């Protein structure tokens, strides 16, 4: 695990440590089982083609979880993910990498707690932002 | 042509499920973490968990994005003519950490219903507000998730 990041270590423009995921059809099956989303467009190619999709596509909620993972990895055990807001704007196909990225937009103290707001997103292999999002985290102080 | 009238909208907003009990289990968390490919010891390593401030396996925030964490949907008081579903995104707010072994109670309510004309016909946006409370009735998380029917 990376060392703890503190409120004092970040400023506007600081990049969130990126996370690269390599979704496979097998992962989509595991996600279907773990999350309860058995929509066939995610594991049955014929069903996907019938919905006018080019191939089976990655579940939106799995991308949400990738973004959550990027944040929890970055904030470490001392941090707390307060809020995450996600839109789905594009498809991701398994077999293509998804890169989660982000940067700090604001930092402030409110009622004694340290907040950091980030703009984050998933990016497909063509550099398109398929899930634009924002995340608010709480970070500990060095004290 | 609109499929949702103002009367239908008023009838739907506020419809909520009865409280649903959800047990947060280690196995459920492990299965989730393995599916995401997230090796964080906070969700997977019990020995590590006992030594940290949470004292137990933590429920990862992504778990609140799983379909199974929502129980059943509140039933619309009418049928929609459009059946295909799309994930319309949402927001998830977290208030308290949740650990394995906790029993949560959740309630889902329809908080918004809107219609838009899409390229292929009407699109209905339903927003569900979900509250999860712990055994002390403290609000641990709240989500607003939108499903697009088209």
Flag if B62 and A37 touch (Cβ within 8 Å).
no
Query: pLDDT digits over A29-57, tens only?
Result: 999 999 999 999 999 999 999 999 999 99
Report the C-alpha gap between B96 and B54 in whole angstroms. 11
A85 touches chain B (CB under 8 A): yes
pLDDT of B119 above 60: yes
Query: In chain B, how many domains are there?
Result: 1
B121 touches chain A (CB under 8 A): no
Nearest to B36 among A36, A66, A85 (CB): A66
Tokens 């939108």, residue located? B146
Cβ atoms of residues A79 and A139 within 8 Å: yes
Flag if A51 and B37 touch (Cβ within 8 Å).
no
Cβ atoms of residues B33 and B39 within 8 Å: yes
Q: Which residues are within 8 A (CB) of A36 and not within 5 positions of it... i.e. 6 or more apart?
A: B66, B67, B68
Flag if A81 and B94 touch (Cβ within 8 Å).
yes
Its domain, for residue B132, covers 6-149
User: Quick one: closest CA in B to A81, which residue?
Assistant: B94
Nearest to B36 among A36, A62, A80 (CB): A62
pLDDT band at A143 (very low <50, low <70, confident <90, very high): confident
Report the C-alpha gap between A69 and A75 in whole angstroms. 10
B74 touches chain A (CB under 8 A): no
Choose among B44, B40, B16: nearest CA to B105. B16
pTM: 0.97
Query: pLDDT digits over A86-107, tens only?
Result: 999 999 999 999 999 999 999 9
Choose among A34, A19, A41: nearest CA to A98. A19
Q: Which residues are within 8 A (CB) of B47 and not within 5 positions of it... i.e. 6 or more apart?
A: none
Q: Which domains does chain A have, with CATH numbers?
A: 7-23+58-138 (3.10.129.10)
The domain spanning residue B106 has which CATH number?
A: 3.10.129.10
- Is residue B124 in a domain? yes
Question: Which of B26, B41, B65 should be substituted to probe chain A, the one whose Cβ sees the most A Cβ atoms within 10 Å?
Answer: B65
Flag if A27 and B37 touch (Cβ within 8 Å).
yes
- Is residue B1 in a domain? no
- Is residue B75 in a domain? yes
Alpha-carbon torsion (B91, B95, B101, B106), positive or negative = negative
């Amino acid at each position: 695990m990376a060392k703890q990041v503190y409120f004092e270590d970040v400023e506007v423009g600081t990049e969130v440590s990126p996370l690269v995921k390599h979704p496979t059809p097998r992962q989509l099956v595991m996600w279907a089982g773990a999350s309860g989303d058995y929509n066939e467009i995610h594991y049955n190619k014929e069903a996907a083609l019938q919905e006018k999709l080019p191939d089976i596509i990655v579940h939106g909620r799995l991308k949400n979880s990738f973004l959550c993972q990027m944040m929890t990895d970055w904030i470490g055990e001392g941090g707390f993910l307060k809020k995450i807001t996600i839109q789905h704007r594009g498809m991701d196909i398994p077999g293509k990498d998804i890169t989660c990225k982000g940067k700090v937009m604001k930092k402030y103290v409110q009622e004694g707690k340290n907040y950091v707001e980030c703009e984050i997103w998933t990016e497909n292999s063509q550099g398109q932002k398929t899930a634009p999002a924002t995340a608010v985290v709480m970070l500990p102080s060095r004290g | 042509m609109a499929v949702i009238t103002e009367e239908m909208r008023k009838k739907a907003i506020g419809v909520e499920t009865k409280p649903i009990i959800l047990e947060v289990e280690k196995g459920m968390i492990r299965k989730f973490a393995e599916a995401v490919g997230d090796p964080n010891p906070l969700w997977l390593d019990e020995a590590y968990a006992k030594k940290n401030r949470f004292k137990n396996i933590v429920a990862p925030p992504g778990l609140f994005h799983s379909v199974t964490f929502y129980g059943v949907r509140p039933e619309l008081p009418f049928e929609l003519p459009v059946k295909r579903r799309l994930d319309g995104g949402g927001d998830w707010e977290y208030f308290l950490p949740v650990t394995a072994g906790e029993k949560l109670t959740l309630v889902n309510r329809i908080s918004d219903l809107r219609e838009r004309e899409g390229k292929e016909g009407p699109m209905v946006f339903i927003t569900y507000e979900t509250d999860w409370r712990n055994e002390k009735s403290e609000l641990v998380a709240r989500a607003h998730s939108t499903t697009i029917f088209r």
